[in-house]
Amino acid sequence: MQLTPKVKEILSWYESDNPGTKANLARILMEGKLGGTGKMVILPVDQGFEHGPARSFAPNPAAYDPRYLFELAIEAGLNAYAAPLGMIEAGAATYAGAIPTILKMNSSNSLSTTKDQGVTASVSDALRLGCSAIGFTIYPSSEYQFEMIEELRELAEEAKAAGLAVVVWSYPRGPMLDKTAETALDICAYAAHMAALVGAHIIKVKPPTAAVSLDAAKSTYAKYPVQDDAVARYKHVVQACFGGRRLVVFSGGEAKGNEDILKEVRAIHAGGGNGSIMGRNAFQRSKADALALLGAIIDVYKTPV
């Protein structure tokens, strides 16, 4: 595999990592239809934990079968497939080496009233299953945020020592944040920066809105305003990820129409984001419709900025 100059540049940003971790990052970055561009589209399927099976898969019953999800990611030419332990185990042998996998190490569920997640897998599981990376969610602002960060520190240290990459879902939520604040510009940028500070190689956050939520930050944003358009907001989040020296991808969120998704993707691309991590908006569609949408998203990221 001949690395492109862009991928070599990205790998140079991770100065402390061993050859194994850099090789796994390169594997993700060089995979699929966007391979070598520095852009990524990843399929995440942890929603069964988060929302329950029917809410996740009833719109497209084929997706109840984890093998379907592997096949969707492979046929679409995506960079990686992220899922909890059981889903990766269900296709690990059949699809070994076919696409880089990210083992999602913790999850919440809709039967819990706490803003926390349980650790559901181990680094040894990731190695046994041939994964390229581990994935872990933190909830900045949760009552349990520090315990989550400490769990991540231990798992990330073990994963990096074993040559795996680390992907961090950084989703602000907790008693001091309402729904507007969870995706506010200042909070999204703060969450992305936290993920970079705890050592993430790839950072996943939600698309930021124009709101500024934290009282302590309002005077700063008034003095140093971010232009009120989506592209500028994505640029600001990328800037918060060490001036763009950490990979950041944005979630697709709740189900919406193709044009709304593509409008969002165009803004991410123009704002310097490294790509999309697209779950429900892909696997809840029929395979034909999902492949068409993912192909259109990939075409956007292939377009010169």
- The residue segments making up the domain with residue 220 are 5-302
For residue 202, give the CATH number of its domain. Answer: 3.20.20.70
Residue type, 151: E
pLDDT in tens, 102-119: 999 999 887 888 888 999
Q: What is the pLDDT at residue 36? A: 98
Is the predicted pLDDT of residue 254 greater than 80, yes or no? no
The Cβ of residue 3 has, within 10 Å, a number of other Cβ atoms equal to 15
SS (H, E, C) 203-231: EEECCCCCCCCCHHHHHHHHHCCCCCCHH
pLDDT for residue 177 is more than 90: yes
Tell me the angle at which helices 287-302 and 66-76 cross, rounded to the nearest 10 degrees: 40
In the predicted model, is pLDDT for residue 166 greater than 80? yes
Identify residue 173 by its one-letter amino acid code.
Answer: R
Q: What is the pLDDT of residues 120-145, one digit of tens each?
A: 999 999 999 999 999 999 999 999 99
Mean pLDDT of the chain: 96
Bridge-partner residues for 80, per DSSP?
Answer: 42
Distance CA 238, CA 294 (A): 23
Question: How far is 243 from 108, CA to CA, in rounded Å?
Answer: 31
Residue 111, pLDDT score: 84
Placement of tokens 């994964």 in the chain: 131
**How many percent of the chain have pLDDT more than 70?**
100
| Residue 98 predicted with pLDDT over 90 | yes
C-alpha to C-alpha distance for 195 and 203, rounded to whole angstroms: 6
| Alpha-carbon span 294 to 107, nearest angstrom | 25
Check if the beta carbon of residue 89 is closer than 8 Å to that of residue 284: no
- Determine the pLDDT at residue 151: 97
204 included as an active-site residue: yes
pLDDT at residue 112, as a whole number = 84
Q: Is the confidence at residue 253, as pLDDT, over 80?
A: no
Mean pLDDT of 207-225: 96
Residue 23 has pLDDT above 80, yes or no: yes
Q: Which of 2-16, 54-68, 100-114, 187-201 has the lowest mean pLDDT?
A: 100-114
Catalytic-role residue among 160, 204, 206, 235: 204
Say how many domains are in the chain. Answer: 1
Q: Locate tokens 């506010």: which residue?
A: 184
